[in-house]
Structure 1
Amino acid sequence: MRTTTSQDRQSVNPLAAVRNLGILAHVDAGKTTVTERILFLAGSTHKRGEVHEGTTVTDFDPQERERGITIFAAAVSCDWAGHRINLIDTPGHVDFADEVERSLRVLDGAVAVFDAVAGVEPQSESVWRQADRHGVPRLAFVNKLDRTGADLDTAVASIRERLGTVPLVVQLPIGQEEGFTGVVDLVRPRALRWPGGQGTLTEGPVPEELRAEAELRRRLLVEAVSELDPVALEEFCATGTLTGDTLAAALREVTRTGAGVVVLCGSAYRNRGIEPLLDAVVDYLPSPLDVPPVRGTSVRGTSVGGPVAVAMAAEVCERPADPAAPFAALVFKVQAAPTGRLTVLRVYSGTVRKGEVVVDVAAGRTERIARILRVQADRHFEVERAVAGDIVAVVGPKAARAGATLCAPSAPLLLEPPTVADPVVSVAVEARRSTDTERLVAALARLAEEDPSLVVRGDAETGQTLLSGMGELHLEVAVEKIRRAQGLEVTVGRPQVAYRETPTRPVTGLVYRHVKQDGGAGQFAQVVLDVAPLVPGEGGAAEFVFGSAVIGGRVPQEYVRAVAAGCRDALLDGPLGGHPVTGVRVTLTDGATHVKDSSEQAFRTAGRLALREALRAGAMVLLEPMTEVTVTVPEDAVGGVLGDLAARRARITGQTSRGGTAQVTAVVPLAELFGYATRLRGRTQGRGTFTGRPAGYAPVPSGSAVAARAR
């Protein structure tokens, strides 16, 4: 028997009428336009915002409006059919993938927007994989059906082939390209049209010329759904078809489990297809009650004022989406605003009111909630409380960062924070006037606090301040934000990529003895290490795996942990050029202690120095970050583009042609892509574009100029 849906419980629990969803897509697929139309139709705005006019609600930052792209994830809320929809418009550019990652961590569902001409593009595939990792149910919206070359079936085929999911198409377009005026609803057969330019919806019978095709497509939809849902299969076997209610319920269950994805279509710019999309959000995406309870580490005995490491005991537990449960929320965004420092969070359980004290579990400190704000992009509306299922901003916490858990002091719970990708590009930044140096340092600190994917560090050799991020555009936006917000004149160096080092051969039985006597307490530690390259997939996503094979208690457990910490210290700077070391498996096989002089510090030092010695003997190789690029150019420019890519050490992985344009995919070293956008426009008279996404690391050719520079 099917479990009770949120619609069934809506009259009992108001959380059933809440939807927390994100809009995901490749850059220029139309995410922000879809969001603007949703807000307009739901009555949250009184005028349709346009990206090209710089009048959108969610792209409110001046840089977003100037560049015409989404840079920062923006939260908005609206009401539709008795439901509250908390919506996050996420960036589509690969440089801002960390904003998407943090947003997906707190969402219950998502709408993935695809271009009807291009289908699944590189970044839309990347964000789809991110949603897979978080288990976020999705709907697919094929946008821009009014464009020349738009084809729903081709876009759906790319969803099936590139995303590995089962697309369940619930609409049939009425008209093609410029003639696209509406859709046929296959769930409850009817025609939905938006005649004229104002996008006013009219409903009527299925057009006679489309009736046969609509019946065929509904039959295929019913068969596909029946294969995925046992309740639908039972009715299908008994009657040979499915009623509209049964089909809708089955589509909801299939969406919740991720067995398939409902596909809708339209043209957001022409105001066509948004109302059915909103209905699908309400009908198919889960409420906070429909997702599993949030899991975290329940920490007992924590001393407020110290880190969570001082806890006496910890156990994994669940918190239900219940306003009466103990309060627990996850911070996923911190931003500066005229009203003060805003901490944006998702409330998973319990209720928090203005003036209450909460605890930041990881930091072990208390914070007072001074104000609670309902967020509408750059506008905020004060409310008295926030309950489970809400996405709100709070004013008051002074130190909580993205990934922090805020919860009731009486029931501390530590939630898993979003993962943060390692930066791959760095630039040196300095104030043009020496008197502004302190202001620049403070501005960089605030910037890193708002965006965890930005890292600020000092270069010990040059004395420069380095700002590291996910790409050229990421760093360019960050520096420009400092210039505008702080009025600082900043000098920026040439971008440098983040190289890595890794061993290529094992070193076994390396013995290292650390002995130090300086008149006071001595230090003694002896370790024996086996060091080897990580086999691909051995450590999962880990870059370092440590293990102990010590027997007989020759090295106490607390010293084993100290050796592991020392090894991690050694990985910060490798022997080739001081770059971080990755892909290492270290096994502590033996050791020795001294009754008086052994300590955790001594074994940490021994672990660090021993691993450094092993790495120097392990035939290290330099790694550079790689990028998978997709270059779209006119067919007559393909030859020049291929030659240019070859000169950039690219490995061509594919080439297709369609409608007078060619699409080339290649894997290119990130260091070779600096300035590529300008070069590509010059070679193609401004008609060429490219997109990229991280493709891991690869060895730098030995003896190359790149290797010499990196060393």
Structure 2
Amino acid sequence: MESDEEDAPPELVVAEGENETDEGAARVPITIVTGYLGAGKTTLLHYILTAEHGKKIAVIMNEFGDSLDIEKSLTVNKDGESVEEWLEVGNGCICCSVKDTGVNAIESLMAKKGKFDYILLETTGLADPGNLAPLFWVDEGLASTIYLDGVVTLVDAKNILRSLDDPAGRIDGHDEDHGHGPVMTTAHVQVSHADVIVINKADLVDEHEIQRVRDRVQSINGLAKVHVTRQSVVPQLEGFLLDLHAYDGVEELEQTGKGHSHLDGTISTVSIALPVLSTDGVAEVDKWLRSVLWENELPGDDEAHEARFEMHRLKGRLRLDSGHEKMIQGVRDVFDIFDRSSPWPDSDVRNIRNIGIIAHVDAGKTTTTERMLYYAGATRYLGNITHGNTVTDFLPLERQRGITIQSAVVTLHWPVVADCPPAESPKSINLIDTPGHTDFAFEVYRAVAELDGAVAILDSTRGVEANTERVWALARQYDVPALFYLNKHDMEGASMKLCVQEMASLLGTFPLVLQIPWWEREAFVGHVDVVREVGIKYSSTGKPSMTGKDKLPPELRDELKKARAHLIDMLAENDEELLEEFSTDENVSMGSIKRSVRKLTLSAKGRFSPVFCGASSVNMGVQPLLDGVGDYLPSPADRPGLEVQLASGTGVLTDLIEGDVSFKGRECRERPFSGIGHVFKVVDDPQRGMICFVRVYYGSLSLREMWNTRLQKSERPLNIMQIFADKNTEIPLLSAGHIGALTGLKFARTGDTLISFAGKTVPESFRDVRIKPPEIPPAVAFISLTPYTKTATDQLQDALSRLSRVDPSLRHHYDQDKGQFILSGLGTMHLEIARGTLKDFYRIKGQDVLIGDIEVEYAETVVEPSGPHHEHCNRVLNSKAGQAGCTVEVFPLEDDDRNVLGSDACFEHNGNIIAISILPGLPAATAPKVSRNATKLLDPATLQQQLLNGATAGLARGPSRRAAPVRKCLVRMTLDPARGDVHATSTPGHVQWAAQHAVRAAVARARGGLLEPFMRVVARLPEAAAAATQHDLTARRGGQVLEVRNLADDVYSAAGAAGAGAGPWGAEGVDLERVYAPPDPYASVHSLRDAPKTGGRTRWVEIVARVPLKDMLLYDEQLRELTGGRKNLTMEPDTLELVTGQRLKALESAM
């Protein structure tokens, strides 16, 4: 290279982004990528520069090393135009002798190209990253522009062991003190400085060799994360190679045993355990490090001599007696001790919003979520369902079908920092996009239980639909406040009046209209903010512009005045504080209105709901909706106390933590745990394995051991992550109020409670604390899977176990007689998705397993009483001899039998009621203790739980050839100590065995019957197709039509149906005459009492019917033919009905 070019900054490769400069943006992270010759850096950089990750990444490359092989024609996409941006790096290796030029390069980069999301700095294959890392970590000139994110080292799985032992790779200046033994090579230094080590080219060696490589590099560097890849392809960039925060935070550290000198005598990892320190103790640690690193002295060594070691990388965590923590970071002789910061933008729990998106299918949930992510700056492009590139619908089947299958979790922050008011921080919004299809109801059930608030989306062309009512009822069950977003106002036939009236009449919530649509010639162009009294109009690209109240069109200004008056009247009627302000000044302030709306939304248990409008697909109305989430939905601190289950009953979590709960007759005054979380979802990730999604309710969860209260065993996670749909960023801990994910838990599943405890073991008093798990709906359909070989059987068994752990509403069992597995689910689409997952994700091939068609899941029952039947167990179970017994009676379940559910000893499970009676005479607690388990058996709560477990197992399969689950039975169980049902040698396993076999025997002796699932069918279709559809449902399919409603008339006639009463609620619900709704553009009237005008629209009807599921499996396509495709069909399980007559004979003959 010419000498006059040595001071010229290297040019850059720019990947995937725009060249905007944002002076207010945060500092840019720089990652140093190093690796020995041939490790695969070139391939990795190719991947980063060409992958569609939506990030603006700059890459500084050397021209003397590996990157010469990269094509010189890499391009950047700018508004669809390919622009040549590639120039050779002009500086060569910038890591040592010319490191000042590297600083100039970064400064030049930021000045020329603007801010980037990330900067990658590649070194040569022979570079020492230890010379470069301190430069970017501590350089004052760069402190306001970039920061060191971490060092990533690639190693060649096939050749790294040879490189570590090759004397030719020795580094001068590192080994003067040795004189003998192993030498320090370039490979050693690159591994020792790494924060992430990528073992690449794993496809060239076997698993044994990979483990040898892993052990060797971890013996050199026990602090780094280790990943294994093939051809440098990583599952994600952020949290894997980028956004590491390796120099500004420290993850959970423990005293590892990875620094084994027998594996590598050159460099090893040393862990030092420190007690809790005082402030003076921190100063002593600082002094000790200065002595070791700067003065080459080991404190406590009387003989002064030059230290025979050097420090390459240092990380540490200091716990202080004040409760605070300090972090230590160091590289070579540079180190820093600093306060630990929260991994979240704002650790105040009041700035957290855990919300869900709930709606009917196709209402626009995922599209709205994509716009939220985009405007919050979490994505650089707008995902589109049609194009299959949405963030929350990340599964291939979701993108193929255009529907949400799983409840995807994403985290975003709003407003963006630049728009935050003074002294305020953005809200951390953990957002769950749930499915709308009824076949995936369990995804909604388990998500809603974890929410603090919800956004309910309505399709404004359809109003409240069948599944909307179901998810709204679920939100009410869990007391989750919600705001409503009326979407699709850009579509023909959109009606805010329809939606608002149906919210009141069908959902029973009073709509607080905070926005009214802005129409121009029947086209939706924006909305008017009733609270702020401004108009917001959107351009064709979705850019909003403000219009003051005085500049609005006269008719819109009048409507705004009317809407605001209605809103203030309703607030004043239900909020004394606002009433007092309104009585003294009719000009109520914007802040007072917002405070009052929030108060009613949070405290009225769903009686009031704020209403917003927009059109997400054309980018209208999403930013104000995000504002509404922060303004009107609750934080975790605003929610009522969480109910938890104890061995002795139930209690409130806050009472338990504060010591106000008694346990077995004594008060609990100890602080039992440092954190408690609830697993509400499990995902099988192809790279990380099982990922458990967790909501933390108290304290924090970190990388220490956790107690699983269901399994009664400890587990330790490998990683904790902040969630971004299918992308995740690792964080050191998960704090109260947040939703995150844990990897590495081998057994945890949906519904499990995890406790993080301070001592070595969890206190005995709190080993059984459980947050209530979600209820799993009964299955209605199944498929059979017949493996052909033993290998295929084992593979299928493993796949089904993993599938059921991910989705507990998918249940399976093995039929020994037929040699096949039966997989049961909640509907046809549910099973279609499961079948596709088995084929595509778990690689279950058709040549190995015969996958049957979807069939109806029938159930068995008893049609006459059976029993009493007594069963006694006297055998060896789990290597323990013991005895136990119980007596069982089984009855057909009648409606009146549900009255017994108020008793503590009665339980409902899968449509059965189980009543347990434990008679007096249990052995005293002071009786001779044969074993720890025997002592525990004497607790009535433990006996009751084991009897319940045995009963549910006994009802899982009936006695007929179908071996179908037993449903609609009343099971009475009696445990009589006087009869010998409890023995000194009894264990929980013996009690459960006796109960299970007693129930099975009692059911087998009864006269049985067959139950068939019926579905509640709701079909919305044009009035012209109503007669043919009703005839088809009743005459051809054996159904019963329950109701037919004319949708156009229903909403307006409902106003007269509600009786008047105190407040906005009449005797039958919301008084619709009190509800304000803005006029529609096609209506010629402006009063809710005027007759509706259809405006030439098709009149639609809603048919509600009960139909056997067997005749509805393929009905969606058949209804499409009847209606010409203009229909909306939903089905959900209704009841199980006894099959009789010719239908029973037909089913039996078909077996």
Query: Would you call these one fold, judging by a TM-score over 0.5?
Result: yes
Partner residue of 1:357? 705
In 1, Cα distance between equivalents of 2:684 and 2:884: 50
In 2, Cα distance between equivalents of 1:219 and 1:316: 57
1:55 positional shift: 1.8
- Whether the 8 Å CA contact 2:871–2:995 is kept in 1: the answer is no
1:612 positional shift: 5.9
- Whether the 8 Å CA contact 1:528–1:590 is kept in 2: the answer is no
1:453 aligns with 2:803: no
TM-score calculated relative to the size of structure 1: 0.86
User: RMSD in angstroms over aligned alpha carbons?
Assistant: 3.7
Residues 1:362 and 1:409: Cα distance change in structure 2 (over 3 Å): farther
Moved more, 629-638 or 477-486: 629-638
Taking the TM superposition and a 5 Å limit, the aligned residue runs for 1:288-437 are 288-297=636-645, 326-341=674-689, 342-353=691-702, 355-410=703-758, 413-431=769-787, 435-437=791-793
Partner residue of 2:466? 122
1:581 aligns with 2:966: yes
Partner residue of 1:33? 367
**Structure 2 residue identity aligned to 1:207:** P
1:154 positional shift: 0.9
**Structure 2 residue identity aligned to 1:72:** Q
Please, which of 1041, 1061, 1073 is the counterpart of residue 652 of structure 1?
1041
In 2, Cα distance between equivalents of 1:597 and 1:651: 51
Structure 1, residues 116-142: CA drift from partner, whole Å, max 9, x if none?
A: 011111111111111112211111111
Partner residue of 2:307? none
In 1, Cα distance between equivalents of 2:1002 and 2:647: 39
Please, which of 913, 916, 929 is the counterpart of residue 545 of structure 1?
913
**Structure 1 residue identity aligned to 2:403:** I
Higher Cα Rg, which structure: 2
Residues 1:515 and 1:167: Cα distance change in structure 2 (over 3 Å): closer
1:708 aligns with 2:1124: no
1:630 aligns with 2:1025: no
Partner residue of 2:598? 252
Partner residue of 2:485? 141
- Whether the 8 Å CA contact 1:295–1:317 is kept in 2: the answer is no
**Structure 2 residue identity aligned to 1:664:** I
Query: How many matched pairs?
Result: 683
In 2, Cα distance between equivalents of 1:72 and 1:267: 24
In 1, Cα distance between equivalents of 2:717 and 2:646: 22
1:505 positional shift: 5.5
In 2, Cα distance between equivalents of 1:256 and 1:625: 38
Residues 1:228 and 1:615: Cα distance change in structure 2 (over 3 Å): farther
Identify the structure with the greater strand proportion. Answer: 1
**Structure 2 residue identity aligned to 1:180:** F
Moved more, 522-531 or 106-115: 522-531
Partner residue of 1:44? 378
Taking the TM superposition and a 5 Å limit, the aligned residue runs for 1:560-639 are 567-574=951-958, 578-587=963-972, 593=978, 620-639=1008-1027
Residues 1:522 and 1:141: Cα distance change in structure 2 (over 3 Å): closer
**Structure 2 residue identity aligned to 1:584:** C
**Structure 1 residue identity aligned to 2:693:** V
Moved more, 552-561 or 614-623: 552-561
- Whether the 8 Å CA contact 2:450–2:695 is kept in 1: the answer is yes
1:240 positional shift: 5.4
Partner residue of 2:273? none
Secondary structure at 2:899 match in 1 = coil
Residues 1:76 and 1:431: Cα distance change in structure 2 (over 3 Å): same
In 2, Cα distance between equivalents of 1:316 and 1:452: 37
In 2, Cα distance between equivalents of 1:252 and 1:330: 27
In 1, Cα distance between equivalents of 2:666 and 2:495: 48
In 2, Cα distance between equivalents of 1:392 and 1:590: 44
Residues 1:395 and 1:245: Cα distance change in structure 2 (over 3 Å): same
Structure 1, residues 89-138: CA drift from partner, whole Å, max 9, x if none?
A: 11111111111111112211110100101111111111111111221111
Residues 1:209 and 1:425: Cα distance change in structure 2 (over 3 Å): same
- Whether the 8 Å CA contact 2:890–2:1003 is kept in 1: the answer is no
1:676 aligns with 2:676: no
Secondary structure at 1:343 match in 2 = strand
- Whether the 8 Å CA contact 2:721–2:730 is kept in 1: the answer is yes
In 2, Cα distance between equivalents of 1:210 and 1:108: 35
**Structure 1 residue identity aligned to 2:497:** D
Partner residue of 1:278? 626
Residues 1:679 and 1:244: Cα distance change in structure 2 (over 3 Å): same
- Whether the 8 Å CA contact 2:886–2:981 is kept in 1: the answer is no
Secondary structure at 2:411 match in 1 = strand
Structure 1, residues 450-490: CA drift from partner, whole Å, max 9, x if none?
A: 11111121124322101111111111111111211233324
In 2, Cα distance between equivalents of 1:573 and 1:580: 4
Partner residue of 1:232? 578
In 1, Cα distance between equivalents of 2:916 and 2:686: 53
Moved more, 339-348 or 679-688: 679-688
Partner residue of 2:825? 469
**Structure 1 residue identity aligned to 2:674:** P
Secondary structure at 1:369 match in 2 = coil
In 2, Cα distance between equivalents of 1:609 and 1:369: 38
Partner residue of 2:565? 219
Looking at both structures, which has the greater relative contact order when contacts are Cα pairs under 8 Å and sequence separation is at least 6?
1
In 2, Cα distance between equivalents of 1:79 and 1:517: 61
Moved more, 171-180 or 328-337: 171-180
In 2, Cα distance between equivalents of 1:681 and 1:243: 52
In 2, Cα distance between equivalents of 1:548 and 1:358: 33
1:695 aligns with 2:695: no
1:676 positional shift: 1.4
- Whether the 8 Å CA contact 2:865–2:889 is kept in 1: the answer is no
**Structure 2 residue identity aligned to 1:640:** A
1:406 positional shift: 1.8
1:60 positional shift: 1.4
In 2, Cα distance between equivalents of 1:313 and 1:454: 36
In 2, Cα distance between equivalents of 1:517 and 1:13: 57
Moved more, 429-438 or 43-52: 429-438
1:559 positional shift: 8.1
TM-score calculated relative to the size of structure 2: 0.55
The percentage of aligned residue pairs carrying the same residue is 33
In 1, Cα distance between equivalents of 2:668 and 2:1105: 44
1:71 aligns with 2:432: no
In 2, Cα distance between equivalents of 1:160 and 1:317: 47
1:83 positional shift: 1.3
- Whether the 8 Å CA contact 1:175–1:181 is kept in 2: the answer is yes
1:549 positional shift: 6.8
Secondary structure at 2:539 match in 1 = coil
1:619 positional shift: 6.0
Runs (5+) with no aligned partner, structure 2: 1-343, 416-425, 649-661, 876-880, 902-907, 924-937, 1049-1096
Runs (5+) with no aligned partner, structure 1: 1-9, 301-311
1:674 positional shift: 1.3
In 2, Cα distance between equivalents of 1:336 and 1:560: 34
- Whether the 8 Å CA contact 1:299–1:414 is kept in 2: the answer is no
1:495 aligns with 2:854: yes
In 1, Cα distance between equivalents of 2:890 and 2:786: 43
- Whether the 8 Å CA contact 1:256–1:286 is kept in 2: the answer is yes
Moved more, 179-188 or 690-699: 690-699
Residues 1:432 and 1:619: Cα distance change in structure 2 (over 3 Å): closer
Residues 1:607 and 1:214: Cα distance change in structure 2 (over 3 Å): same
- Whether the 8 Å CA contact 2:414–2:427 is kept in 1: the answer is yes
Partner residue of 1:305? none
**Structure 2 residue identity aligned to 1:459:** D
Partner residue of 1:442? 798
